[in-house]
Chains A and B, each alone.
Chain A
Amino acid sequence: MNDSNQLIQQQFGAHANLYATSDVHAKGASLARLVALTNPQRDWQVLDVSTGAGHTALTFAPRVARVIATDLTLQMLDAARQLAAERGLANIEFKPADAHALPFDDNTFDLVTNRLALHHFTNARKGIAEMARVCKPGGVVALVDNIVPPDKPTAGYLNHFEQVHSPSHNWAYPVARLEVYFADARLKVEHTETLRKEMEFEPWAERAGASAATKEKLRALLLRDVPESVRQFLTPRADGDKIFFTLTEAIVIGRKE
């Protein structure tokens, strides 16, 4: 297994339950928007790639015929399976798989989703190409991920900040780059939107298992040494002894030609 995949498995394997109960992942606004934008149908076969604790798969399962959800980390799949059982969802299957090499035939799924995971991929272009490959012609690939502004110094700073937080973070892209990857995969972009989400620093750091020293480094990157362009993007603020900042998610909806 390559080093990046091992990092992902170590990080998410150790903290699977925190992702299972995370409001950002379980109840984020982008989840409701994904359902509204994709308009799932009763007879659809859906694939949720890099499902994590399964929140996207669990949201779609009651609305479609079947959901298959994949992830690299077995502990995350166990947490997801438990949530599905608690909700009595029988039309959802969780399978270990690498998003860069999906174990499915071409043209299989009506909808392929991928939420808050692409920034961990070592090769985002390949990951999107795989989602497009397994999507039926006329079907939809729906992506949600954290994005960065297009200017390179700001994008570099933000990605460094995320890499300190989460060693398996590879790279978050500007939305224009995601749209290029969609076009490269012969996915016609039908809709793009961005959403701002305010994060509370402490639970965000805890979820990734940050040590006290790492938290201190993150606080410095967020509050003390921060360039103005990054401050405008993250809009950090203190409220009593709590620190908040804002991340930006993009939703990109593409239809396979």
Chain B
Amino acid sequence: MVSPELLEILRCPACVRNGPNAGMLDFVRQTWLVCHDCGRKYPVKNDIPIMLIEEGDKHKETPVEQLGAPA
């Protein structure tokens, strides 16, 4: 689980510098954080979000409904 307090301040590290409200994230399927702007998907493993751009890149093109559990 990612706490609401953490979700409030977490942003996509690739997009956050693009302006106000850039890089906001949705917490989906209890295991992924998905960027509103670029679609990068950051895995949450053992409740720890892996907020590295290269991790977000791996499933950027995968539709949310096809996301499995993070490897």
Evaluate whether A103 and B10 lie within 8 angstroms (CB atoms) in the complex, with A95-B48, A133-B17 already known: yes
Contacts of B6 in A (CB 8 A): 68, 93
Partner of A95, one of B11, B49, B53, B54: B49
Q: How far is the CB of A92 from chain B (nearest CB, A)?
A: 12
Q: How far is the CA of A1 from the CA of B54 in the complex (A)?
A: 6
Interface residue ranges of A52-103 to B (CB < 8 Å): 66, 68, 72, 93-98, 101-103
**Does B38 have its Cβ within 8 Å of any Cβ on chain A?**
no
Contacts of A133 in B (CB 8 A): 17
**Does A206 have its Cβ within 8 Å of any Cβ on chain B?**
no
The 4 A-B pairs with the shortest beta carbon distances in the complex, nearest first, are: A103-B51, A101-B13, A103-B13, A108-B9
For residue B49, which residue of chain A has the nearest CB? A95
Interface string of B5-28 (1 = CB under 8 A from A): 110111111101100100000000
**Does A198 have its Cβ within 8 Å of any Cβ on chain B?**
no
- Residues of B at under 8 Å CB distance from A? 5-6, 8-14, 16-17, 20, 42, 48-54
Interface string of A91-122 (1 = CB under 8 A from B): 00111111001111110100000000000000
A contact residues, range: 10 to 19
Q: How far is the CA of A216 from the CA of B52 in the complex (A)?
A: 37
Q: How far is the CA of A105 from the CA of B20 in the complex (A)?
A: 9
A-B contact pairs, 10 of them (CB 8 A): A66-B5, A68-B6, A94-B48, A95-B48, A95-B49, A95-B51, A103-B42, A105-B11, A106-B20, A108-B9
Contacts of A72 in B (CB 8 A): 52
Q: How far is the CA of A146 from the CA of B26 in the complex (A)?
A: 39
Contacts of A93 in B (CB 8 A): 6
For residue A77, which residue of chain B has the nearest CB? B48
Q: How far is the CB of A84 from chain B (nearest CB, A)?
A: 13
Contacts of A106 in B (CB 8 A): 16, 20
Across the interface, do A101 and B53 meet the contact criterion of CB distance under 8 Å? yes
Evaluate whether A104 and B11 lie within 8 angstroms (CB atoms) in the complex, with A93-B6, A133-B17 already known: yes
Partner of B51, one of A1, A96, A105, A108: A96
Across the interface, do A96 and B17 meet the contact criterion of CB distance under 8 Å? no
Across the interface, do A103 and B54 meet the contact criterion of CB distance under 8 Å? no
Q: How far is the CB of B8 from chain A (nearest CB, A)?
A: 8
Q: How far is the CB of B46 from chain A (nearest CB, A)?
A: 10
Across the interface, do A97 and B13 meet the contact criterion of CB distance under 8 Å? yes
Partner of B48, one of A96, A104, A105: A96
Across the interface, do A96 and B52 meet the contact criterion of CB distance under 8 Å? yes
Q: How far is the CA of A1 from the CA of B12 in the complex (A)?
A: 17
Contacts of B8 in A (CB 8 A): 105
Q: How far is the CA of A95 from the CA of B44 in the complex (A)?
A: 11
Contacts of A1 in B (CB 8 A): 52, 54
For residue A98, which residue of chain B has the nearest CB? B52
Contacts of B53 in A (CB 8 A): 98, 101
Q: How far is the CB of A167 from chain B (nearest CB, A)?
A: 20
